[in-house]
Chains A and B, each alone.
Chain A
Amino acid sequence: MKTEPTKTDARETDAPISRRDRFLTRLWLVLMLLPLVGGMLLNLVLTPPSEGITVTGAQIYFTLSLPFENLPAPIRDLPITESQVNSALVLLFLFFFCLFLTQGLRTRGKSARQVLAEFIVEKVEGFVSGTMGAGYDGFPPFVCAILMLSAFSSLLSLLGLYPPTSDINVVGGWAILVFFMITRYKLKAGFGSYVKGFLEPIPVLAPFNVLSEFSTPISMAFRHFGNVMSGGVIATLVYAGLAGLSTIVFGWLPGFLGEIPFFQIGLPAVLSVYFDLFSGCLQAFIFAMLTMLYISLAAPEKESA
């Protein structure tokens, strides 16, 4: 057996974990959690107190203006919002999460971290090959990226942060990327057959075919966006409603006791389990699934009956 002494090389035997490994593992763990803590602190500092029930989009931290005066305003202005900041936090988190999982991989005597890393890789690869069939070797990391980015973005709401997936621009961007990939796979069969695909089954239906082509990314984006955002809206409404109920039932209590919204304890947590945990992961799964299905359907030569 020959081994290349690369830096992240897998250890050959079940030798004891080196101090360097242990140190780096802890370092990655800290760096992994730092963006989340930082995001919460940022949220605490930057969020103005809300008055009443407001359903808004992401908060705009500041707006960058491109130095081109003749551009129309929507293109010239780049508002940096909670979506962008929180997406960046999720990216940082996931980057250090990967480093944390793959620190000190070994072929024998694997740790719980390695079990998780291998589980993720093998599950996603099985998921991709099971859905798309063979011949899509580059796809597992992409599908995994969609799954993780979507799921962890949605899960940010568990920390009280604004989930980037409830911004239509974020999921819209993903859907557009997927749309380009679908189109690229359709063009692989040749431009002629791509155009011909719009004329089937009869040429009269061509406008509808074009519409349905563009409805794919839009439906994908709005499905994801709508689910996560509606979860947030419902959570806000329930929260406000429970506050009002508390005031009615416990308002007679003396002093500050009357101001404590007792009903807000408990029920929102149950709702959060559904809207944040379940719905967030489900939408991530659906988005990844649709991506794989559309792309594997778009590649005609790979199809088998």
Chain B
Amino acid sequence: MSRSILLAGFASAVIAGPAFGQSMDHSMHNMPGMTMPAKPAAKAAPKPTRKATAKPASKRKAPARQAASRRAQAQAPATDPHAGHDMGGMQGMDMGGQQSAPAANPHAGHDMSAMSGMDAPAGTPQDPHAGHDMSAMPGMAMAGDQGGAKVGTDLPPGNKPAPAPSDDHLADRFWGAKAMATSREDDLRREHGGMTYYQVLFNLAEYQARKGSDGYRWDGEAWVGGDIDRLWLKSEGEGGFGKSLDSAEVQALYSHALDPYWNLQAGVRYDIKPNPSRTYATVGIEGLAPYWFEVEGALFLSNKGEVLGRAEGYYDQRITNYFTLQPRVEANFSAQDVPETGTGSGLTDLEAGLRLRYEGRREFAPYIGVSWERQFGDTARYSRARGGDTGGFSFVAGVRTWF
């Protein structure tokens, strides 16, 4: 029943005299309540075991012993049942005092009573780093490291150059080059990062209740592609019930990932409304800003030479893991007056909204909120001249949805 213990003891006994005491001690730590050598003991590992228990460490040859004790140190952290324990509770302890205490023995502080009669402390070299892996400290001269050969994983790596990659594929020899080529493409590349994805997302799709006539509004996007290059479609617009659309636009953009967070987007925008409609060349940037702000900015150059701009941003504030509050701002700018479309120069209009949504399912999150819209400057004057309104508060209810 305790053969494994014996083996553990045996393993260390073979390597080392001084190590023996430590290893045994730790084996015991590991097996509280075990009675030591039971019946299968002698049978399991008879000779070495007897030797190890009978012969004191000092009978061993010196070099072997030296190397062995180094091994024992190396193993110390592994067998230390307290390794890796947090000492946070020791705040305020006088560590200085410990400094003056004999710091050599990595097992100081552990109950050594089980080892009475052993001369383990004497056999342990005065290495302040006993039990610590110094392999991560290349170039650092360690007092305790001198003399004695390191083995195995304790050895530092050389600097031989790596072999150049070969173009052949060994599996071709067994299964045929053609089958493997197909498999490399279909099973390997495509299935490990080479997939195509898509998403359709409506951040806003809502009913707007306001003074006068109620209306609706949408703001959505769809994309398809890989990780870096994607085709985007964007659309936004609004209108009043019982009236025609106030505004509606679609954009088709090529999107390229610039860095972990930002995409450069360029393409065309077409305004279905207002009339007369315009087509724009557009370039913009879209991404995630520090502090988790989703932002978007774009410039538009119309087929008539007019320049417009837009900035948009929102932030998802989780109230709980199911309720999210989204403050959102969108502002439009114009470089010039465009009387045809009722657009004045400067800041043309601003929308600020606050929407609270419930994400029972992330893909279908109903929300309620308020939205404040306002036209400015000449844009507002154009609207007033036409008898249109220039903004105001709305209560909104809608669904943020994606698939």
- The yes or no verdict on A and B being binding partners is no
B: residues with CB less than 8 A from A are none
